[in-house]
Structure 1
């Protein structure tokens, strides 16, 4: 019986992490309460502290979970393409899509959580977790640029990452205006031209 209880506890924690990773991306760290998170997970508010010492701890864990989910999806997309240039092209296409813009809860945490993390006090662990997630994204792009024979692959990766994230932040902030679609289209055209991924 204790083993079943332990397994259920682990399942409950995983549910809380996944729900929080989605809701924090959708509503921000301060836009959703612990009670809201637990209700969305189908659990009681009182059970929260059996899993986490504070909302700050959950914020950190949920941020890590969101980056892990995003990384898994990115790798799945890349693995569909033998040619690294095609993988880069597919990544740009997906990242700058209106689908990505409109599905915040399942999108890239680098975009969705940037403002929240920037406003958190400097001593919060979520800063390190967010930075590690962005570093992982940069490493992934660097690997693709290296494999495609691009000059200065690290610089290209960082510039591409900054353009992707920045364009998506602006596109979400201007959603409902024609400018939003224009930003995504212009960023896509710019990246594919600069990186010569359209050849």
Structure 2
């Protein structure tokens, strides 16, 4: 087999990072390189041509996931013509929805990667990216009446609990209770 062009190599790397970002959110960072490359439609051997290690990919995929989250927040604010309170309400409704509960691969990296990042050494790039991403998310959620960290904890806890109880009536009750708690005071 011949060598791939630089453009194809860049496309392959992008595909691996995007696939890893989704798989890590859905299944955790313990996903094997072989399974990851298969999901990306590439050979296992090609991985080491693109990345120094799996840890390097975890770093890059985590940054990618938080980049997506930042773009979603920015786009949400733009859709509401800069009206932060309306954008936050729409964010809460979307975040605490059955669709988000059921779509971890495309969902919030704060919720999906929390337990994996807790196991990472404190000096890892992925953990730093995660911490900054969680802080930024909390800042976007702050209102005059409610602390952003408390709102993030409520949303995150509700999402994780609703995923853990999926298939029971309690799952949707958790989502509804958290939505009400976050939107009652405006």
> For residues 42-78 of structure 1, what are the alpha-carbon distances to aligned partners after superposition, in whole Å with 9 as ceiling and x for unaligned?
1111111111111111111111111111221222122
Q: How many residues align?
A: 182
Matched residue, 1:105? 105
Unaligned runs of 5+ in 2: none
SS across alignment from 1:38: helix
Name the SS of the counterpart of 1:175 in structure 2. coil
The two structures, once aligned, show a CA RMSD in angstroms of 1.5
- Structure 1, unpaired ranges of 5+: none
Equivalent in the alignment of 2:122: 122
Q: Give SS of 2:184's match.
A: helix
Distance 1:130 1:48 in 2: 24
**Other-structure match for 1:177:** 168
Residue 116 of structure 1: how far off its partner (Å): 1.1
Q: CA deviation at 1:187?
A: 0.3
Q: CA deviation at 1:124?
A: 3.0
Matched, 1:135 2:126: no
Residue 69 of structure 2 corresponds to: 70
TM-score, normalised to structure 2, is 0.92
C-alpha deviations, 1:136-163, integer Å up to 9, x for none?
Answer: 2123334xx3xxxx25xxx621111111
- 2:134 and 2:66 map into 1 onto residues whose CA distance is 8
CA contact (8 A) 1:93 1:188 kept: yes
- Is 1:163 equivalent to 2:154 in the alignment? yes
Q: Does the 8 Å CA contact 1:78/1:91 hold for their aligned counterparts?
A: no
Is 2:177 the partner of 1:192?
no
Report what 2:47 is aligned to. 48
